[in-house]
Structure 1
């Protein structure tokens, strides 16, 4: 009997070991299969969008610029997202790690939202004053951004890439011609801002042209024959390709497109309609909120911030009403102290130096990627807002905070401490660089951008100014309130323009009545919302969610709450939809308890 029991036990162990080993193989196979899928998704994504690869520091496709507007390209794009969406169904999610499960959820969202976008004919308006691919391409042309100009091959890659870009320009013109026939055209007020952008690149001497700039930086190590060959090629490219192409678009915009431009301001006045705006809300807020919910939230936030502004006005002893105080701040020459553009850059450097001792108290994880402040390039300066340009994935190219300084003596500093927090440190530079440097995230998540998270984080950091040693001057604190008001106003005017029939002028007046921004800045902002419906909603929606999560964690954890660890939890994910971030923080709270 004893022998029989022992024999049975041995057989049981063998079967159990076999089953355990088999299960381990399944787990390994499932994880390996999923991680291979992620690698392929990133690799094929770079092939599909070579500009994204260049921005990430991957130089393999630096000679390519696909015709993003062609039917062939759109078919490839649709097949790409459909393929990976279907592939996810084959993965056993229960066998994945927490990071892998997050990557799976993010990948599914990315495929879904991109496929949904392809339903709409937004490509019939491929060019605008702020968001279109020609402006991104022009930034590369100066030789100081992501496109490298260090080797002879680099210079030849750019010549080849320009040929692809010129094909895209031709397609853009054809799309706009089709758009005229279908009533999908830009508002006239935007078209008149686009025309000078093309005219600037259509005239002048080839040697003075933006696209000739890399020749002025040609490395001394190049052989003399190579220098001469490249110089001649770039002169020919500028004079016989780039300038004529931009002149053609400028003439088309003036003579054909502008007369057909619409007088309406909102996207719902076009055949794209409410369905497109609802898609944009989902894209840019990563929520299921409605336009009415967002509009009403905006009105509530505007009222709250107005109350805080009144307190600052009282603190500085201003006797007029709040609208008069806005004018006082806009026009106060004491808040415009600069005579040289270099002084503006030095001012931002001084803000950074004040913050440095406090950063360590609030952030455990900090990026290694270098950081610089630069003036916005002159070709786009008059119509651009301050922005951040991320560094390369390997950290060799710095993150850059660009600030437009078209008129240095009118550069008002009342809101610039706040601006630095948002666009630079610890805003976009921390959030983007930490994701790119992460050893945990798969490559595709290092270059994703979800505006509600990315802009929400940047706006959240603005409220940390006092914790970082800033906002000691009440005008600078008022600047922070003004910036928050600016984002609250966006909830009102963006939904107003695109769902409630507001005109451009009504949106401008609402902004003038409720914030201290200069009128020309407000005009640019309203026109920005007109060009890209819904994008402006992302800031406040994201900020409020991160604030809510911080408050929730602090209440739940009490003395166990660690602000550095909270920031680590938020930043280590890279850009993700807000619901996924909320799930992650809730899990962290539960574990921390």
Structure 2
């Protein structure tokens, strides 16, 4: 998702800097869309595109992409925001939905069997994307424009971000001036949601209001002022001085009053009137809503019941693996006692933030050293290792991988066990999300609309798969680190049970917390943050394990079919080369690769 006032903190902590990363990354981006639709003539021109199926499809998705850039008030590329924030009012949302419904009608009219293979992939990806975006608006998710760790108001550019030109700075200042209008529209939407019982659950809102406070400070203490602290030398000194003065004026006259007003609303109205229930099924037409979220995040037709059963089976399997690893460590006792030992023994916790970041960096460098034998096509782009910004760290996840940086949470070090850090590092950094983002940026050419795209089942499935892959790469050096990997795998399996348990079967928060603690050796802080995340983000957490199961099953299939011909580098290149796709597309393309490899003469396959 593109930054709104630059490269926003939320966006910078997502999976890659130019993509819609998770349901609320997607929902927020969609909520941030909002300018008039393309003129009717432009839509007619799209419908009258050249007669070949490929050309008609290309004209359609190119036109939609350009329209979407205008809706988002941005240009292509990172940080290219315009001079205003997007419109998020209900009228703009309805117009957007009408546009996308029209796009789907035009897509239906293009004969799929007349498309080239590459365009068939594009068509399937495009359809899934448009259906997801339409459903986000159809369900009025813009009435819940934030969740437990992603907020529409965290508009400050990510730490270290600088604009490169006077124009970018002036556009940024204009966007600051537009904050009051933007917040007013968000507030109207949230009030509409509250009126119909469509809101975040009250119990997940504790402390989230504190993330607004840094923006209520006047002057250069305000988080919005960060890009002006150090400006490019290419901008003349007198121009820099004027830009700083204009920024301070905009912050003091527009931003500070708007944030103060928003903070009052969130504390005195939203947090008071938010729904007391936690399950998505408790909201209007809740079970159908939850089913739609399952389909969006998993890109499958699995039901909540099917997913719950898959989760229970995975929990039982992984528990047996954990017990075997516990015995290999030499620990004498029960698994719950081992959990307590792992959670409380000082040897498993860093003493300083630098120690934790250094340990993460060591894992990333180990992974880098094994890439040549793991993946065939490697990107040139490299990421850094940095701490999660202090203002959101208390309620943020343990780590996230982005294109520029892979972030690790150093808040409450006594709650950040080192034995899970290797699995976290390969998932979030290399060869996980940061690596994946770099490869997507430099990889095979694909339409512009696919460069800004993310499917959780694909992306998070790959991230979790890389944790398993870490075994083959020699990442886990002790039984404790292997247990940490199993802990993370169990964590994702437990999600299948808890998410469906709360949103489909009426589990209480306490029941979800207890189930989590009984099966996963994470800290209490991490467990609480995770359960609250699942409560406020129905369906998103299901994508990880289901995506990983899909990839691992495909690998088993490839190994069985190809035998000595199997080369994991080709397998991984096929997956990563596709970019973000729905899981059914991933399955069909990997099976096509298997068939092609199987048809090669043995010598040709060995040489490759």
Question: Please, what TM-score do these two structures have when normalized by structure 2?
Answer: 0.86
> Aligned residues, how many?
550
Partners in 2 of 1:28 and 1:88 — Cα distance? 13
Q: Give yes or no for the alignment of 1:557 onto 2:562.
A: yes
- The equivalent residue for 1:39 is 62
Shift of residue 495, structure 1, vs aligned partner = 0.6
Partners in 2 of 1:77 and 1:144 — Cα distance? 34
Q: 1:117 to 1:128 in 2, by over 3 A?
A: closer
- The equivalent residue for 1:131 is 150
Q: Give yes or no for the alignment of 1:73 onto 2:70.
A: no
- The equivalent residue for 2:395 is 383
Which residue of 479, 487, 504 corresponds with 2:484? 479
Matches within 5 A, 1:137-176: 137-138=155-156, 140=157, 142=158, 144-145=160-161, 148-176=162-190
Which residue of 306, 314, 321 corresponds with 1:293? 306
Partners in 2 of 1:287 and 1:119 — Cα distance? 20
- The equivalent residue for 1:232 is 245
Q: 1:328 to 1:484 in 2, by over 3 A?
A: same
Which residue of 254, 261, 267 corresponds with 1:248? 261
Other structure's SS at 2:207 match: helix
- The equivalent residue for 1:463 is 468
Q: After alignment, is 83-92 or 413-422 more displaced?
A: 83-92
Shift of residue 92, structure 1, vs aligned partner = 4.1
Contact 1:386–1:423 (Cα < 8 Å) also in 2: no
**Cα deviation code 1:449-477 (max 9, x no counterpart):** 11001100110010011221211111111
Contact 1:117–1:279 (Cα < 8 Å) also in 2: no
Other structure's SS at 2:406 match: strand
Contact 2:501–2:507 (Cα < 8 Å) also in 1: yes
Q: Give yes or no for the alignment of 1:223 onto 2:236.
A: yes
- The equivalent residue for 2:33 is none
Partners in 2 of 1:95 and 1:295 — Cα distance? 39
Contact 2:214–2:223 (Cα < 8 Å) also in 1: no
Q: Give yes or no for the alignment of 1:336 onto 2:341.
A: no
Other structure's SS at 1:464 match: helix
Contact 2:401–2:429 (Cα < 8 Å) also in 1: no
- Which runs of no fewer than 5 residues in structure 1 stay unpaired? 1-25, 392-398
Contact 1:387–1:401 (Cα < 8 Å) also in 2: yes
Q: Which is helix-richer, 1 or 2? A: 1
Q: Could you say which structure has the larger radius of gyration? A: 1
- The equivalent residue for 1:261 is 274
Contact 1:417–1:470 (Cα < 8 Å) also in 2: yes
Q: After alignment, is 512-521 or 225-234 more displaced?
A: 225-234
Q: 1:389 to 1:325 in 2, by over 3 A?
A: closer
**Cα deviation code 1:262-307 (max 9, x no counterpart):** 2211111121411110000000010100101111111111111111
Which residue of 423, 426, 442 corresponds with 2:428? 423
Matches within 5 A, 1:160-559: 160-203=174-217, 205-339=218-352, 341-388=353-400, 390-391=402-403, 399-408=404-413, 411-559=416-564
Which residue of 57, 63, 79 corresponds with 2:78? 57
Q: 1:530 to 1:75 in 2, by over 3 A?
A: same
Shift of residue 544, structure 1, vs aligned partner = 0.2
Partners in 1 of 2:534 and 2:597 — Cα distance? 41
Contact 1:121–1:272 (Cα < 8 Å) also in 2: no
Other structure's SS at 1:378 match: coil
Q: After alignment, is 476-485 or 497-506 more displaced?
A: 497-506
- Which runs of no fewer than 5 residues in structure 2 stay unpaired? 1-48, 599-608
Partners in 2 of 1:206 and 1:382 — Cα distance? 25
Which residue of 63, 75, 91 corresponds with 2:110? 91
Q: Give yes or no for the alignment of 1:121 onto 2:140.
A: yes
Partners in 1 of 2:356 and 2:129 — Cα distance? 39
RMSD of aligned alpha carbons: 2.1
Shift of residue 381, structure 1, vs aligned partner = 1.1
- The equivalent residue for 2:124 is 105
Q: 1:500 to 1:93 in 2, by over 3 A?
A: closer
Shift of residue 159, structure 1, vs aligned partner = 1.2
**Cα deviation code 1:97-137 (max 9, x no counterpart):** 311111011112222222233221332222333233323x3
- The equivalent residue for 1:12 is none
**Cα deviation code 1:59-113 (max 9, x no counterpart):** 2x44332122x13321342233233323324434444331111101111222222
Q: 1:73 to 1:390 in 2, by over 3 A?
A: farther
Contact 2:420–2:485 (Cα < 8 Å) also in 1: yes
Partners in 2 of 1:337 and 1:182 — Cα distance? 46
Contact 1:85–1:108 (Cα < 8 Å) also in 2: yes
